[in-house]
Structure 1
Amino acid sequence: MRIKFIFLFLFSFVVGFSQTIGTTVSKKEIKIGEQIQLTLKTKVNEKEVVFFPDLDSIGKLEVVQSFPPEKNKKGNQTEWIKKYNLTQFDAGTYKIPALEVLINTKKTKSESIEISVIDVEVDTTKQKMYDIKEDEILSINPEKKQQELSDSQLILGLFSAFFIAGILYILLRIKQRKKTKSEAYISPYNKAFLAFSEVNANANSKEYYSNLTQIIKSYFEKTLEFSALESTTEQFIFKLKKAVQNKKFQISETSISQIETLFTKADLVKFAKIIISLPEQNADKIASENLINVFHKTLPVSAEEHQVALAKIAEIEQQNKYKNIRQTAFIVTFLVALISVVFFFGWQNVTNYFSAKINGKDADYYLKKEWIVSEYGLPILQVETPEVLVRDLVTLKNPNIKNIAQFSWQNPEDKLAISLQTIAYKDSIKTDLKAIFNDEMSEMMQLQATKIQTTAKKFKNVKDLSGDILEGTFEINSANQTKQMRFFTVFISDNFGLQKVRITHDAKDKLAKDFIDRVTNSLEQVNQEEDE
């Protein structure tokens, strides 16, 4: 639960600032039985989804009609409009309470408004009363609607998982570095030459030669492992010869004699207090360095150096072990955090997101989503679709048409698109199927479709709704590319009206048939009865 609260906090920045709900009514005073229209408006980002409540009553007012939401694009924003027709049959003052509107996963409340209902004398013997009927009814359950995963949410989720794993990796590295931290080892050879670099010829010959002999003694004490620093010259030469003999390595008597000569000169400087010139001091320093070089090339590895080498190998192995632990911890933590992100968003949403990125928003993508059942037009046609169809502006040109309504979802050049049209005739007209098909072909050509090939057949779905089908292929130019498309149009007609549902899809979409079947099998005519 703690992880989920953390993600809720992080994603509050993605959702953005809180939106407001504009609330208006057509009038604030009505007569008993008269209807008032409540309008809710809100502007959101293009990718955000808005769900308005679908209610039978609002406060003490009866909902006569709940209209489908209208969507208008304005630049990078979308304006959503929801309308309700309300009425009340008792006089008095009533309050339209604040309504909760769901924007993505966030609840936002509308404003509350007071209205007055006044008495009126109604003579029902002179005029019949009818309910106001609209050409579109929408029934939607917002609780079942899945929130579509956005790029920003996915990036933030991945970043959160990476951040948590990275913090653990850094903490482990700091802790393990303290355990493995060790001082840098300097070999006897390097120590000797570092000491030589600090010795400079000077007037004090005793100090100068004392420093040279101490450097040489320290080197051999470490490498040949005998006590040299506290030994006299005689003792040192004896121990040196013995160590060379015991170690059994090749070194010339000349080299040992040079050391003995240097140490004898140092004794004379110390005890006889003879003065050595600066050039001679420099020459003896160079000779000392050469002697160390000669011995270094032939001396075996000392026990100290061997132990240090083993310790170094052990330290490297330990560091590699700690590195593997850190990497494993990072991967495991990242995967656990990633699983938490997937759990937070929902497995279906995540798979839909990647399916859309890889294959585009094809039939497989939409078939995995929650669909909604809506009612459109007059005469009313009920249909199940992935999203709400948006009303299109249509101009009446045919004098025989009483009412025409058109709705669509996506553009014909998209991977999937739906168009629905309902036509009511003023008078009874004999159905001319050939003319209907020709009109459909004309509309397809107006949508820039070319090379249209068609096949006609009869239609009947699982709800025993029957009609005719015109299906086929066409080409359309989109972004300077020619796309191969298919269309499937269902016509339900009689002498009083025509209902048409067209589905277009990419010709390569293998699951398009399942998509079409789901839409067409959901088609159902809804009878609208009037009170006589």
Structure 2
Amino acid sequence: MKLRLLFLFLFSISAGFSQTIGTTVSKKKIKIGEQIQLTLKTKVNEKDIVFFPDLDSIGKLEVVHSFPTEKNKKGNQTEWKKKYNLTQFDAGTYKIPALEVLINTKKTKSESIEISVIDVEVDTTKQKMYDIKEDENITSKTIETSQELSDQQVVLGLLFAFVCAGILYLILRQKHRNKSKTDAYVSPYNKAFLRFSEVNTETNSKEFYSNITQIIKSYFEKTLEFSALESTTEQFILKLKTAVHLKKFEISETTISEIETLFLKADLVKFAKIVVDATSHSSDKTAAENLINVFHKTLPVSEEEQQIAIAKIAEEQQQNKYKNIRQTAFIVTFLVAIISVVAFFGWENVTHYFSAKINGKDADYYLKKEWIVSEYGLPVLQVETPEVLARDLVTSKNPNIKNIAQFSWQKPEDKLAISLQTIAYKDSVKTDLKAIFNDEMSEMMQLQVTKIQTTAKKFKNVKDLSGDILEGTFEINSANQTKQMRFFTVFISDNFGLQKVRITHDAKDKLAKDFIDRVTNSLEQVNQEEDE
């Protein structure tokens, strides 16, 4: 539950401003059987798409007529408007409920409005009364839309998973860092030369030689493992010779004599108070460093150094173990968070999103979506499409044409595209199918297509709408690449008008036929009366 709330919080930040749906009615009080007009409108960005519900009834009010959606550009925004004529044949107070309007993939509700239906007085002395019929059950046709994932939502989902895993990783890292570590080890050799660098040759002789002899004693106490610091010069030299003999490493008697000479000189300075100049200090310091160097090259590794080396290896192994634990925890947490993200969005939506990214938005992609039923042009043609077709600016110089309108969805070079055109003639015109086919070929040539091959046949859909079909193949250049495409054009014509629906698709799209069948089987001519 907490995970879901966190997601809702994250995505509410990125949702942006919320659109509102303007809701108005022509009257709030009508007589039985009288019609009122409900108008829904909203202003959105130019690229946004708005889907209004297509219903047979709204609440307990019957939809007499659902007008085509109007779209008007106003500055940087576009106003979308939908009108419904409603009526009711029983007196009472009725509520027009809030209707769900889809703006891109987001559902927004309109306002609810109360309507009063007034009974009409009837003179029962002059008119025969009949039994009251039971209310007819009217089923409303709703469109359920599955929310299509956006790139922003997917990025936020991945970011959420990464942040969850990262937080756990940092907690474990801090916990392991706080564990006690072995202090940084400095070898006796390095420690001796570090202390030599701190000795000041300009200081008084007693202090200088005391420091030098202490450094040498400390070095041998650690490396040869005997008590040296509290020993006299005589005792120290004896212990040094004994340790050299026991350790069985080669060191010349001359080197030991040089150490003994340096220590005796130090004793004379400390106890006989002999004064030594700074030049002698400097030379004796260098001599002491050279003596340590000589011993360091021949001394075996001390037990302490061995223990430190073993401890260091153990510490490195432990740190590697902690690192592996952190990395495993990060990966597991990331995967669990990803599974949670997928569960939140829905497995089908996620697979749908990545399938579209990998394979492109082909017929399979759109067939899984909920479609929109809309009316276009004059004469009016109703059709079901994945998205609303946009009006194209088109004119005709043909003197016989009274009205021409064209609508399209996507471009011919896309994996799928739909184009719809309606033409109304001023007078009766004899249908010339060959001329219609030639006009279609000319239009396709204007789209810069090549190698067109066609076949013609008759058309009849499940709604008994009949006409003609021109279908075939063509090639088109897109992004410096030649694409093999197919087209399927339905013509519905008579002496007073022509309605044409063209569908183009990638020649390799195996489900394109199902897509075409769904579009063409939804085609229906609408007899629309002129508005009063």
Give SS of 2:214's match: helix
Corresponding residue for residue 371 of structure 1: 371
Give the TM-score normalised by structure 2: 0.82
Corresponding residue for residue 131 of structure 2: none
Counterpart residue type for residue 141 of structure 1: T
Quick one: structure 1 residues 87 and 141, their matched pair in 2 at CA, closer, same or farther if it must change by over 3 Å?
A: closer
> What is the Cα deviation at residue 403 of structure 1?
8.2
Looking at structure 2, the residues matched to 324 and 247 of structure 1 have their Cα atoms a distance apart, in angstroms, of: 43
Contact 1:162-1:334 at 8 Å conserved across structures:
yes
Contact 2:450-2:475 at 8 Å conserved across structures:
yes
Task: State the Cα deviation string for residues 465-504 of structure 1 (Å, max 9, x = none).
Answer: 6543211233456677765432111335567875543211
Looking at structure 1, the residues matched to 220 and 301 of structure 2 have their Cα atoms a distance apart, in angstroms, of: 12
Quick one: structure 1 residues 48 and 156, their matched pair in 2 at CA, closer, same or farther if it must change by over 3 Å?
A: farther
Give SS of 1:142's match: coil
Corresponding residue for residue 165 of structure 1: 165
**1:241-260 matched pairs, under 5 angstroms:** 241-260=241-260
Give SS of 2:178's match: helix
Deviates more, 1:394-403 or 1:450-459: 394-403
Corresponding residue for residue 125 of structure 1: none
Looking at structure 1, the residues matched to 284 and 406 of structure 2 have their Cα atoms a distance apart, in angstroms, of: 108
Task: State the Cα deviation string for residues 29-55 of structure 1 (Å, max 9, x = none).
Answer: 766544332221113346655444455
Quick one: structure 1 residues 374 and 40, their matched pair in 2 at CA, closer, same or farther if it must change by over 3 Å?
A: closer
Counterpart residue type for residue 217 of structure 1: K
Deviates more, 1:177-186 or 1:191-200: 177-186
Quick one: structure 1 residues 349 and 438, their matched pair in 2 at CA, closer, same or farther if it must change by over 3 Å?
A: same
Quick one: structure 1 residues 107 and 502, their matched pair in 2 at CA, closer, same or farther if it must change by over 3 Å?
A: closer
Higher relative contact order (CA 8 A, sep 6+): 1
Quick one: structure 1 residues 222 and 72, their matched pair in 2 at CA, closer, same or farther if it must change by over 3 Å?
A: farther
Looking at structure 2, the residues matched to 465 and 57 of structure 1 have their Cα atoms a distance apart, in angstroms, of: 26
Corresponding residue for residue 141 of structure 1: 142
Looking at structure 2, the residues matched to 282 and 468 of structure 1 have their Cα atoms a distance apart, in angstroms, of: 112
Corresponding residue for residue 273 of structure 1: 273
Task: State the Cα deviation string for residues 57-105 of structure 1 (Å, max 9, x = none).
Answer: 5466443223354455667655432221123457888775654545466
Deviates more, 1:166-175 or 1:99-108: 99-108
Please state if 1:335 is matched with 2:322.
no
Corresponding residue for residue 67 of structure 2: 67
Looking at structure 1, the residues matched to 22 and 334 of structure 2 have their Cα atoms a distance apart, in angstroms, of: 44
> What is the Cα deviation at residue 233 of structure 1?
1.3
Query: Across the two proteins, how many residue pairs are aligned to each other?
Result: 512
Contact 2:106-2:147 at 8 Å conserved across structures:
no
Corresponding residue for residue 24 of structure 1: 24
Counterpart residue type for residue 386 of structure 1: P
Corresponding residue for residue 15 of structure 1: 15
Give SS of 1:288's match: helix
Contact 2:181-2:315 at 8 Å conserved across structures:
no
Deviates more, 1:413-422 or 1:94-103: 94-103
Deviates more, 1:384-393 or 1:185-194: 384-393
Looking at structure 2, the residues matched to 140 and 428 of structure 1 have their Cα atoms a distance apart, in angstroms, of: 37
| Coordinate RMSD, CA, aligned | 3.8
Please state if 1:154 is matched with 2:127.
no
Looking at structure 2, the residues matched to 393 and 44 of structure 1 have their Cα atoms a distance apart, in angstroms, of: 21
Percent identity over the alignment? 84
Give SS of 2:262's match: helix
Looking at structure 2, the residues matched to 27 and 203 of structure 1 have their Cα atoms a distance apart, in angstroms, of: 109
Contact 2:55-2:142 at 8 Å conserved across structures:
no
Quick one: structure 1 residues 77 and 303, their matched pair in 2 at CA, closer, same or farther if it must change by over 3 Å?
A: farther
Contact 2:381-2:526 at 8 Å conserved across structures:
no
Looking at structure 2, the residues matched to 376 and 164 of structure 1 have their Cα atoms a distance apart, in angstroms, of: 50
Unpaired stretches in structure 2, ≥5 consecutive residues: 123-139
Looking at structure 1, the residues matched to 66 and 528 of structure 2 have their Cα atoms a distance apart, in angstroms, of: 17
Quick one: structure 1 residues 344 and 43, their matched pair in 2 at CA, closer, same or farther if it must change by over 3 Å?
A: farther
Contact 1:104-1:147 at 8 Å conserved across structures:
no
Counterpart residue type for residue 274 of structure 2: I
Looking at structure 2, the residues matched to 212 and 19 of structure 1 have their Cα atoms a distance apart, in angstroms, of: 85
**1:290-305 matched pairs, under 5 angstroms:** 290-305=290-305
> What is the Cα deviation at residue 246 of structure 1?
1.3
Looking at structure 2, the residues matched to 78 and 350 of structure 1 have their Cα atoms a distance apart, in angstroms, of: 31
Counterpart residue type for residue 22 of structure 2: G
Looking at structure 1, the residues matched to 60 and 469 of structure 2 have their Cα atoms a distance apart, in angstroms, of: 47
Looking at structure 1, the residues matched to 226 and 365 of structure 2 have their Cα atoms a distance apart, in angstroms, of: 82
Looking at structure 2, the residues matched to 318 and 342 of structure 1 have their Cα atoms a distance apart, in angstroms, of: 36
Quick one: structure 1 residues 449 and 26, their matched pair in 2 at CA, closer, same or farther if it must change by over 3 Å?
A: farther
Quick one: structure 1 residues 352 and 107, their matched pair in 2 at CA, closer, same or farther if it must change by over 3 Å?
A: closer
Task: State the Cα deviation string for residues 506-532 of structure 1 (Å, max 9, x = none).
Answer: 344444334324434x346578799xx
